[in-house]
């Protein structure tokens, strides 16, 4: 059996969807999207090294949360839309940082990150 929804798309900044406990969860092995279109990849022509320190940006890009390389404040990719609730968490004062746990320069560059709430 599947789950039942309300048939509506939620708004990113919808306060009624705010959940403190959900905001404090660690996010492990998240595959970033749009890596090849990121600010970093377009300027450097490669992905950052593993163990590089990252954080989440406050601004959205294409309606999604940006992942920022802390060293030079460049965007390295976007979180999948299932993590859009983090935008509300960030607006309410939560901060997220972590590391790159996997990166690969390939035809389709790939970055995988771990993120932790502060």
The pair of structure tokens assigned to 42 is 């377009």
pLDDT at 17: 59
How high is the mean pLDDT of the chain?
88
The predicted-structure confidence for 35-88, as pLDDT tens digits, reads as follows: 999 999 999 999 999 999 999 999 999 999 999 999 999 999 999 999 999 999
Tell me if 53 sits within 8 A of 70, measured CB to CB.
Answer: yes
Strands 53-61, 96-104: pairing is antiparallel
Instruction: Write down the architecture of domain 26-117 according to CATH.
Output: 2-Layer Sandwich (3.30)
Q: Which residues pair with 33 in a beta bridge?
A: 78
Q: Which residue has the tokens 């999207």?
A: 33
pLDDT at 70: 97
Ranges of each domain in the chain: 26-117
pLDDT above 90 coverage of the chain, percent: 81
Q: Which of 96, 117, 108, 102 is nearest to 33 (CA)?
A: 108
The pair of structure tokens assigned to 99 is 């590391």
97 phi, psi to nearest 5 deg? -140, 170
């Amino acid at each position: 059996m599947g789950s039942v929804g309300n048939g509506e798309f939620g708004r990113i900044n919808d306060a009624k969807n705010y959940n403190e406990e959900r905001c404090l969860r660690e996010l492990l092995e998240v595959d970033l999207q749009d890596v090849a279109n990121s600010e970093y990849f377009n300027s450097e022509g490669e992905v950052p090294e593993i163990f590089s320190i990252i954080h989440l940006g406050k601004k959205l890009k294409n309606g999604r949360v940006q992942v920022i390389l802390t060293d030079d404040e460049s965007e390295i990719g976007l979180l999948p839309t299932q993590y859009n609730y983090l935008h509300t968490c960030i607006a309410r004062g939560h901060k997220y940082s972590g590391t790159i746990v996997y990166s690969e320069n390939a035809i389709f560059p790939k970055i995988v990150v771990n993120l932790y709430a502060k």
